Chain A
Amino acid sequence: MSDRPDDASDATPAPGDAATRPDVVTPAVPGDPADDGGPGAVDLDATTDGTAGTPDVDAGGDVDADLDGTAVGDADVDRAAGDDEVGAGDAGEDEVGAGAAGDDEASAALADSIDDRDADATEPFARTTVAQVAATPDEIADAEPVGAEHALDEAAWLASSSAVAQEHDDEQLLARERVTPDPARTPESSWAAAHVGADGADPRRDADDSDAALASDDGVDEVGGPDVDPHAAAALLAAPGILDAGERGGPTTAGTPVVGPPSAATPVVGPPTAGTPVVGTPGPSGWVVLGRALKPRVTRAQVLAGVLCALLGFALAVQIRQTSDSTLTGMRQADLVRILDEATTRGDALERELADLADERDELLSGSNTRQAALDALRRNAETQGILTGRLPAEGPGVVATLDDVEPDGLIKPVTMVNMLEELRNAGAEAIQLNGQRITASSAFTGSAGSVELDGVTLTAPYVWDVIGDPDTIAPALQIPGGALAEVRRNGGTGSVERADLVEVTAIRVVPDPVHATPVPPESG
């Protein structure tokens, strides 16, 4: 905050605006800052009547729109009744200040102002002017060749510079600020000149604060203008209208119009020059502000900001790495519970699917087994049928019976063969072969005694019967009295039965398919 002793009430910046806000000069500019009773160059003669009389210092809400440090001039706005201050074409010239009024006068006024600034510091704009100005009209007339309307500007600027550079060398100050009148100078350049004057000229500030105020990136420096603004200008600038026009968000616009000294200084600082398009005069663009801010300067603020940014960068890098590496460990309990529920649900669904698939697989396997079993059953059935029907050769235990007849009465008749066959079947013969011919269900004996035909093939003695069956049943069955074998013997023939462990019935007889007979269709249901 401003620590200027004489600025106690005036230059206190708004609370949030930082200690770095430069002291707002509250020069006793408008009237007779020098308090020397005579206007001189510093006094303001706004009515161009040669005197800095009452109407001249119109602090009625005029606004220094062009930020030239005074509320007069081309671009400035005269919002109050007194229109006097609004001059024409004096923008560039005004801030030059001393040159317009004469060097001697200016230097004298400066010296006086510097000496007397303390006394005048707290006085309001208007009061000062009124009190001081009316003293010596003559001096004023002589000293202001430029014109009364310019006096306010130059005086204001000059006073501000002088007030700021309280201990500064007068010569140095003059040398820097003296400029030949140049109407072509723009408000900005004059503003810049004023700024320059004030920039390096406040040794009263604390070392660090001054550095901070002047050179730090906290916005004050770049604003610039406030450093120089005279009390009057500050007061005028305080008018809320102009400030708000440029920057809606202007935080510091106190809204206190006109003369109020304390608030006068405050609003001037920030918004108008921070790139806000004040009426008619564009302030330094945001890029300029940014550029100035980026200049590395070792100040407390910068170092602090650097430390905090380092902390932020560190935390940022750590967090990003943390997120990329492991996501579960950093989550909160609620999130983990939700994830667990989802995982469990999915697990259950997968288990059900697994059970279904297993059942399907088993079904398919069993199905194939059933088919295989059916195939096996069919195969066995076919074999059995083949043996029984004579389609397949067979082997197994059985008997071999041999019949032989003798001439002329012992000739074996076909009926004897038929009896023999019936007795063998009755005894459980399963496969019968006679003289190399298979006997099937359709076999028939024909012919006559001595030339028996089996299925049309004539047989010759001896008749050898290969029979597969149970030997213990068949052999005794053939020997029964009254059987075929007994009859052959009675007729004089011979017959023998031999049991065998292995009888091979290799002959087969393919039975032709029935022509007339058809199978009975299976009954449904």
Chain B
Amino acid sequence: MIAVIGLVVGVVVGLVLQPTVPVELQPYLPIAVVAALDALFGGLRAMLDGIFDDRVFLTSFLSNVVVAALIVFLGDQLGVGTQLSTAVVVVLGIRIFSNAASIRRHLFKA
């Protein structure tokens, strides 16, 4: 519940403050958000599986974000920015779908 409250608070703060993202970070923010979403879904699935660990959640959250941003940055430097970015997004999407399916099985038994 606190997590849900936190999410809502974060969204509200983001809408109210309307901060401008630094130009250097702008290409990486969407990837980081998707990676964080993946970590969130993973945590949700772990909770339903009964194996949730806050430390694991924290580390997976942070590592997902950092690694995803790092991969995209590296791709930009190497010249394959769009391709690597696409790959990262695809993989994160697959993971999100897999976690969502597991959650669905828990909740709906189907």
Chain A: residues with CB nearer than 8 A to chain B?
16-20, 212, 216-220, 222-223, 247, 249-252, 269-271, 273-275, 277, 285-287, 289-290, 293-298, 300-319, 321-323, 329-335
Contacts and interface: CB of A to CB of B under 8 A. Distances in A.
Given A275-B106, A312-B37, A330-B27, A303 B2 contact: yes
A9 to B, nearest CB: 21
A326 to B, nearest CB: 9
A321 B52 contact: no
Given A296-B1, A321-B14, A308 B61 contact: yes
A319 B48 contact: no
Contacts of B106: 274-275, 285-286, 289
Contact of A219 (B20, B47, B76, B109): B47
B108 A308 contact: no
A312 B102 CA distance: 22
B50 A289 contact: yes
A289 B48 contact: yes
Contact of B13 (A293, A305, A314): A314
A331 B29 CA distance: 11
A304 B54 contact: yes
B7 A319 contact: no
Contacts of B30: 319, 323
Contact of B52 (A219, A311, A314, A332): A219
A315 B49 contact: no
Contacts of B48: 219, 274-275, 286, 289-290
A296 B26 contact: no
B53 to A, nearest CB: 3
A318 to B, nearest CB: 5
Given A302-B2, A312-B40, 15 more contacts: A217-B47, A270-B51, A271-B49, A290-B47, A290-B107, A296-B5, A306-B3, A308-B39, A310-B7, A310-B9, A313-B12, A322-B20, A322-B21, A330-B27, A334-B81
A296 B6 CA distance: 12
Nearest to A252: B51
Interface in B1-42: 1-15, 18-21, 23, 26-27, 29-30, 32-33, 36-37, 39-40
Given A219-B50, A252-B51, A286-B106, A308 B57 contact: yes
Contacts of B40: 308-309, 312
A316 B23 CA distance: 17
A290 B56 CA distance: 19
A310 B47 contact: no
B50 A271 contact: yes
Given A295-B1, A309-B4, A219 B51 contact: yes
B50 A302 contact: no
Contacts, number: 201
B50 A222 contact: yes
B26 A304 contact: no
| Most-contacted residue by chain A among B6, B29, B33, B76 (CB, 10 A) | B6
Contacts of A323: 30
Contacts of A277: 109
B49 A313 contact: no
Contacts of B47: 217-219, 289-290, 293
Contact of A321 (B2, B18, B33, B50): B18
Contacts of A303: 2
A212 B4 CA distance: 18
Given A219-B50, A306-B6, A330-B21, A16 B56 contact: yes
A283 to B, nearest CB: 9
B14 A316 contact: yes
Contacts of A269: 50-51
Contact of B21 (A218, A300, A304, A318): A318
Contact of B50 (A273, A285, A311): A273
B50 A315 contact: no
Contacts of A331: 27
Contacts of B37: 312
Given A219-B46, A321-B18, A335-B82, A313 B11 contact: yes
Nearest to A311: B10
Contacts of A20: 52-54
A316 B50 contact: no
A285 B106 CA distance: 7
A313 B8 contact: yes
18 contacts: A16-B56, A17-B53, A20-B53, A219-B50, A252-B51, A286-B109, A306-B3, A307-B6, A310-B9, A312-B10, A312-B40, A313-B10, A315-B32, A321-B14, A331-B27, A332-B76, A332-B82, A333-B76
Given A308-B57, A334-B81, A329 B23 contact: yes
A305 B43 contact: yes
A337 B7 CA distance: 37
A322 B26 contact: yes
Contacts of B57: 301, 304-305, 308
A315 B33 contact: yes
